[in-house]
C-alpha cells in the first residue's frame, strides 16, 4: 500500500501544495502545530531519512531550506524550526514549523485553520519562493 504522501504525490489525495520539483514536494501539514507548518517530502518512498543516499538527503535539505526561507518571509515567527521525528507516516518528511513558542515543537499544540485560509497561505508561501 503506497504511503499517504505517495498518494498525495500521485494526486490521488489533495494537498495545499507550496513547491514541487522532479524529486521533492512541499505542502502544508493537515494538522499543523503552528500556522505554516509544512512538510518537505521526497517523491521516492523511503521510510527512514538516514537510509536515503547522501545525495538525496543533501538535496532534500537544500529543497527544505528554500521552502523555509519562503515560509519565514510569509509567516511572522521568531524562526523556522526543523524536525524529522514521527512514527505516523513511514515516508521521509521534514517538518518546517514557524515558531513563536517552543510548545509549537511538541506536536501537542495544534492550530485550526479553514480550508480557505490553508489555500491562501500555501499560495502566499509559494509566491515568496525565489
Q: Which residues are catalytic?
A: 93
Q: How many residues bind ligand 5GP (CB under 6 A)?
A: 13
Please identify which residue in 21, 23, 31, 47 interacts with ligand 5GP, judged by CB under 6 A.
Answer: 31
Please name the helix (run of DSSP H) or strand (run of DSSP E) that holds residue 62, with its range, or none. Answer: helix 54-74
Please identify which residue in 56, 69, 89, 126 interacts with ligand 5GP, judged by CB under 6 A.
Answer: 89
Contact between 14 and ligand 5GP per CB under 6 A = no
Q: Give the residue with the Cβ less far from ligand 5GP, 27 or 63.
A: 27
The CA-based dihedral angle spanning residues 103, 37, 29, 126, taken in that order and rounded to the nearest 10 degrees: 180
Contact between 109 and ligand 5GP per CB under 6 A = no
- Residue located via cell numbers 518546517: 96
Neighbouring-strand partners of residue 38: 28, 96
- Residue located via cell numbers 494526486: 11
Neighbours of 62 (CB within 10 A): 9
For binding to ligand 5GP (CB under 6 A), which residues are involved?
4, 13, 15, 27, 29-31, 39, 85-89
Amino acid at each position: 500500500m503506497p504511503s499517504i504522501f505517495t498518494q498525495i504525490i500521485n494526486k490521488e489525495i489533495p494537498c495545499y501544495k507550496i513547491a514541487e520539483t522532479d524529486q521533492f514536494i512541499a505542502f502544508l501539514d493537515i494538522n499543523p502545530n503552528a500556522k505554516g507548518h509544512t512538510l518537505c517530502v521526497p517523491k521516492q518512498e523511503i521510510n527512514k531519512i538516514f537510509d536515503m543516499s547522501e545525495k538525496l538527503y543533501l538535496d532534500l535539505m537544500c529543497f527544505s531550506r528554500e521552502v523555509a526561507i519562503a515560509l519565514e518571509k510569509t509567516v511572522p515567527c521568531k524562526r523556522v524550526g526543523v524536525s524529522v521525528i514521527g512514527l505516523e507516516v513511514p515516508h521521509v518528511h521534514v517538518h518546517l514549523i514557524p515558531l513563536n513558542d517552543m510548545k509549537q515543537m511538541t506536536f501537542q499544540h495544534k492550530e485550526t485553520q479553514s480550508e480557505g485560509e490553508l489555500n491562501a497561505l500555501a499560495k502566499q508561501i509559494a509566491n515568496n519562493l525565489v
